[in-house]
Structure 1
Amino acid sequence: MSLQQQVMEQMKTAMKAKDKVALESLRAIKSALLLAQTETGSAAEMTEEDEVKLVQKLVKQRKDSAAIFKEQGRDDLAEPELAQVAVIEQFLPAQLSKEDIEKVVVQTIESTGASGMQDMGKVMGMVSKKLAGQADGKTISTIVKKKLS
């Protein structure tokens, strides 16, 4: 079942349950999917990898917004953003633990022979490709920096 079909099914359930947060989150996913599909020069069908990237982008946007709201002491605005994150994350593959990410980073550093911060870009690229959708870039970056420094 494609992401769009899953979203439509979840929307029906959310409408029946009168779950406003879930419905708003699902509509955001549907909207982003439709925009991506109608962009000029886009392929006829989105690949699963493209769909995962799109959902990750939506999650990141909401987390960033929530962080800004919390910084400004606006918990009333941060809470709905975090609630939407929880709904949208259902459409992402299972996230790896920091320990699992660390293992992949160490293996990549060993296989590439990376020795310092000058190799960070190369290591980040390879690890990000291996863990596509299973870890966010910020976490990967933090671990790579720690291991290379």
Structure 2
Amino acid sequence: MSLLDNLKDEMKVAMRAKDKDRLGVIRMAISAIKQAEIDNKTELNDDGIIAVLTKMVKQRKESIKMFKDGGRDELAAKEAAEVSALEDFLPQPLTDAEIDQLINDAIAQSGATSMADMGKVMGLLKPAMQGKADLGAVSGKVRAALNK
């Protein structure tokens, strides 16, 4: 079953359960996926859908931080609930040990020796980690590994 089919099935479940919050998040996700398909003039596969969902989660996490800084805890809680609902459809996050192992493998595979090779390393890591790890944090770890 594709990820889009899973989203549609969960939308039906949320409708039957009268879970308006979860239903709204799922509808928003499906809408974002359809918009990405229209923008790219292609049908997204599961990897493309994961990229869209990951972007949505990242946006909401940034919003949570801004809401908390602004003293708007009720809005931060709403965004946190949306993040939780979206993360149900993303793959299991990688552990720190798995991330470190993938970074070491990518550095060895690319033959990277300096910061000039960071693009090669990230190019290898991005497909393996899309939706499973925060690529910004991974980038910092790669930078630290290449500066040794």
TM-score relative to the length of structure 2: 0.89
Is 1:11 matched up with 2:34?
A: no
Provide the secondary structure at the position in 2 that maps to 1:91. coil
Distance 1:38 1:75, change over 3 A: same
Provide the secondary structure at the position in 2 that maps to 1:105. helix
Residue 111 of structure 1, CA deviation: 2.4
Q: What is aligned with 1:123?
A: 121
2:31, 2:24 → 1: CA distance?
A: 10
Provide the secondary structure at the position in 2 that maps to 1:92. coil
Q: What is aligned with 1:28?
A: 28
Residue 136 of structure 1, CA deviation: 2.2
1:128, 1:38 → 2: CA distance?
A: 24
> Do the aligned residues in 1 keep the contact of 2:102 with 2:125 (CA within 8 Å)?
yes
2:38, 2:112 → 1: CA distance?
A: 41
Provide the secondary structure at the position in 2 that maps to 1:28. helix
Residue 100 of structure 1, CA deviation: 0.4
Paired letter, 1:141: S
TM-score relative to the length of structure 1: 0.88
Q: What is aligned with 2:65?
A: 67
1:4, 1:115 → 2: CA distance?
A: 40
1:13, 1:71 → 2: CA distance?
A: 35
2:21, 2:111 → 1: CA distance?
A: 47
2:93, 2:76 → 1: CA distance?
A: 22
Q: What do the CA deviations read for 1:75-99 (whole angstroms, capped 9, x no partner)?
A: 2111111111111111111111111
> Do the aligned residues in 1 keep the contact of 2:50 with 2:131 (CA within 8 Å)?
yes
Q: What is aligned with 1:53?
A: 51
Structure 1 gap segments, 5+ residues each: none
1:115, 1:148 → 2: CA distance?
A: 6
Structure 1 runs of 4+ aligned residues shifted over 6 Å read none
1:143 to 123, 141, 144: 141
What is the aligned residue count? 147
RMSD over aligned Cα, in angstroms? Answer: 1.6
Q: Percent identity?
A: 39
